[in-house]
Amino acid sequence: MNYPKTGWLAVQGKGQSPVFFPHPRSTFHADPRSLSFILGPNMKKNVRIQSGAIQTHSPQMMPVRLIPTSQGDYLAGPFIAILTSSCRNGFRGNRQNFMDLIQTGRKMGVTIYVLTPEGIHPQSQTVRGWVLNTGNGKKRWLSATLPMPHVVYNRIPSRHMEQQAPEQKALKFFHQHPRINLFNPSFFNKWTLYQFLKESPQLKKLLPETHQWDAVTLKDMINKHGLLYLKPVDGKAGDGIIRVKSQDSSFEIIYQTLQRKQRITIKQWNDLLSKLTQLIGNRKYVVQQGIPLAKFQNRPFDLRLLMQKDKTGRWTLTGTGIRLAGREAISTHVPMGGSIGKMSTIMKSLFDDQSKKITWEIEQTGIQLATYIEEKYGRNLGEMSMDLGMETTGRLWFFEANSKPMKFDEPKIRSDSLQKLIHYMLYLSGFHPIHQKRR
């Protein structure tokens, strides 16, 4: 039986050629001393072949798959870069998230490293990145010279950093490179998303009435709906959300930040407008119709969907998390006191024998939304999370989507998400087994 050609590529010191250690089950027609490898998109190297025991946990030992070409070379990879921003101690971002992805990649035979704009030199065939060293039971980051990536996963951690000149230059370089696949090239904008979805005859019914913030719009909407949410266009995790509720002879404002929650009662319209203007400041906000969310054990909840592409490049639902609002909270975000609920338990409790049908409708809605959003953005997306609201009737509402999902706390969703993400990276790189069957 011919097993796939896999093994470990040892990165040597400066000026030394790399060495390939074949997997014991890999088969070659002969027992070659060296082979011609193409590392990354286009770096051709003559690589020495060596057998024997190796320390596969070493960061210098990179798992690779080999694909023979018609010219007698071997494509070696894939090499995946997590793109983020730099800082004094190396790089920014959720390092534990990066570690989880890198370690899952190693188990699946995929080399993943961290890259910042400073490590990219467009005229070079290599980059300067960071690899994870797990030797001696400790985890350390080591700087290393590495092949240019086949796939780039954008995890620049904030909108502000993403707009900086080095980050924009790096994103443009990867986007324009004919042999590098960049996905999730930017953060979403709440207002832009709303505008896109409003154009869809099928999906616009999911949208709460939403407008850009101004005084005239606010007055019209508070008279029409009685309950409004003001959300920062560039916000996340519920930070900066304002709830405005019209009462018999007053207005109630609840202003929520990561640090505190303010409750303010105001009698006059002009005073309401003045206070909101003060709270909003120079940030861009949207005004959104408040939705009467379904409740479980008297706590409102919404649905957090993780949509990801699979090994065939199709959108799928990886998992749905329920987020229950905390006491006095105006959103269900966990940093704001929200908690996690079990999807199957809550759906069964609310909808009984209709729960499977409702669950299926949630999945199909997520797939339709992800497909349409990617089509309208016109750029390659590989994953997104989205927040959906649900009424007691089962009616669904779209609240927002995030092109850089935060880690899901549900263990199965977390595990499945890492594996599916790597399968999609393999698909983009051309190294997934599904491609080999077509050759």
pLDDT of residue 173: 97
What amino acid is encoded at 387 in this protein? D
In a domain, 421, yes or no: no
Distances (CA, A) of 216 to 254, 267, 288: 20, 18, 14
- Residues 313 and 257 occupy one common structural domain: no
Average pLDDT of span 192-202: 94
What CATH number did the domain enclosing 219 receive? 3.30.1490
- Residues 215 and 150 occupy one common structural domain: no
pLDDT exceeds 70 at position 237: no
Average pLDDT of span 249-268: 87
In a domain, 430, yes or no: no
Cβ-based neighbour number of residue 106 at 10 Å: 20
b/e burial code for range 58-97 (CB count within 10 A of at least 16 → b): ebbbbbbbbbeeeeebbbbbbbbbbbbbbeeeebbbebee
pLDDT of residue 334: 59
In a domain, 201, yes or no: no
54-58, 149-153, 196-200, 267-271: the lowest-pLDDT one: 54-58
Mean pLDDT of the chain: 89
pLDDT tier for residue 393 given thresholds of 50, 70 and 90:
very high
Q: Which residues contact 7 (CB under 8 A, 6 or more apart)?
A: 20, 21, 22, 23, 26, 63, 64, 66
Domain that holds residue 274: 209-289
- Residues 299 and 390 occupy one common structural domain: yes
Average pLDDT of span 243-259: 87
Condensed to tens digits (0 to 9), the pLDDT of residues 375-384 reads: 999 999 999 9
Distances (CA, A) of 425 to 217, 231, 347, 407: 44, 33, 33, 18
Cα 165 from Cα 132, distance rounded (Å): 27
pLDDT of residue 51: 77
Q: 143 in the Ramachandran plot: left (φ > 0), alpha (ψ -120 to 50) or beta?
A: beta
Q: Around 133, how many Cα atoms within 13 Å sit in the side-chain half-sphere?
A: 10
Q: Which two tokens stand for residue 420?
A: 């599916």
pLDDT tier for residue 3 given thresholds of 50, 70 and 90:
very low
pLDDT exceeds 70 at position 39: yes
In a domain, 24, yes or no: yes
Grouping H, G, I as helix, E, B as strand and the rest as coil, residue 401 is strand
Domain stop point among 20, 53, 77: 77
- Residues 376 and 399 occupy one common structural domain: yes
pLDDT of residue 368: 98
Q: Which two tokens stand for residue 116?
A: 């910042």
Grouping H, G, I as helix, E, B as strand and the rest as coil, residue 98 is helix
List the one residue out of 398, 380, 413, 5 whose CA is nearest residue 196: 398
14-23, 156-165, 359-368: the lowest-pLDDT one: 14-23
What amino acid is encoded at 72 in this protein? G
Cα 309 from Cα 296, distance rounded (Å): 31
pLDDT of residue 92: 96
In a domain, 197, yes or no: no
pLDDT tier for residue 439 given thresholds of 50, 70 and 90:
very low
Number of domains within the chain: 4
In a domain, 428, yes or no: no
Check: CB of residue 322 under 8 Å from CB of residue 303.
yes
- Residues 83 and 177 occupy one common structural domain: yes
Cα 146 from Cα 119, distance rounded (Å): 10
Question: In the block, which residue shows the tokens 């393999």?
Answer: 426
What CATH number did the domain enclosing 367 receive? 3.30.470.20
Long-range contacts from 213-221, C-beta under 8 angstroms, 24+ separation: 213/280, 213/284, 213/285, 213/286, 213/287, 215/273, 217/287, 218/244, 218/273, 218/276, 218/287, 219/269, 221/287, 221/289
pLDDT of residue 33: 83
Check: CB of residue 102 under 8 Å from CB of residue 113.
yes
Torsion of CA 410, 412, 414, 415, to 10 degrees: 160
pLDDT of residue 12: 62
pLDDT of residue 24: 76
Distances (CA, A) of 13 to 8, 18, 231, 265: 16, 9, 52, 67
Average pLDDT of span 151-174: 97
30-39, 200-209, 330-339: the lowest-pLDDT one: 330-339
Is 134 exposed, middle or buried, given 0-12, 13-18 or 19+ CB atoms closer than 10 A?
middle
The structure's pTM equals 0.90
Distances (CA, A) of 192 to 168, 195, 210, 242, 345: 20, 5, 11, 20, 35
Torsion of CA 97, 101, 107, 109, to 10 degrees: -160
Q: Around 425, how many Cα atoms within 13 Å sit in the side-chain half-sphere?
A: 28
In a domain, 253, yes or no: yes
pLDDT of residue 341: 87
- Residues 97 and 120 occupy one common structural domain: yes
Could you tell me whether strands 140-147 and 241-246 are parallel, antiparallel, or unpaired per DSSP bridges? Answer: unpaired
pLDDT of residue 1: 34
24 vs 327, more confident:
24
Grouping H, G, I as helix, E, B as strand and the rest as coil, residue 190 is helix
pLDDT of residue 438: 44
Angle (CA) 176 179 183, round 5°: 65
Long-range contacts from 413-418, C-beta under 8 angstroms, 24+ separation: 413/306, 413/318, 413/319, 413/321, 414/100, 416/318, 416/319, 417/306, 417/308, 417/318, 417/319, 417/383, 418/100, 418/101, 418/104
pLDDT of residue 335: 55
Average pLDDT of span 283-307: 92
Cβ-based neighbour number of residue 292 at 10 Å: 10
Domain stop point among 46, 77, 108: 77
Question: In the block, which residue shows the tokens 């992805």?
Answer: 101
Condensed to tens digits (0 to 9), the pLDDT of residues 53-99 reads: 666 666 678 999 999 998 989 999 999 999 999 999 899 999 999 99
Domain stop point among 289, 320, 350: 289
Condensed to tens digits (0 to 9), the pLDDT of residues 328-341 reads: 556 655 555 567 88
Check: CB of residue 68 under 8 Å from CB of residue 74.
yes
Q: How many residues does the chain have?
A: 439
Q: Which two tokens stand for residue 182?
A: 């960049």
- Residues 174 and 123 occupy one common structural domain: yes
pLDDT tier for residue 275 given thresholds of 50, 70 and 90:
very high
- Residues 140 and 218 occupy one common structural domain: no
pLDDT of residue 233: 83
Condensed to tens digits (0 to 9), the pLDDT of residues 122-151 reads: 899 999 999 998 877 788 999 999 999 999
In a domain, 340, yes or no: yes
- Residues 73 and 84 occupy one common structural domain: no
pLDDT of residue 337: 59
- Residues 346 and 389 occupy one common structural domain: yes
329 vs 193, more confident:
193
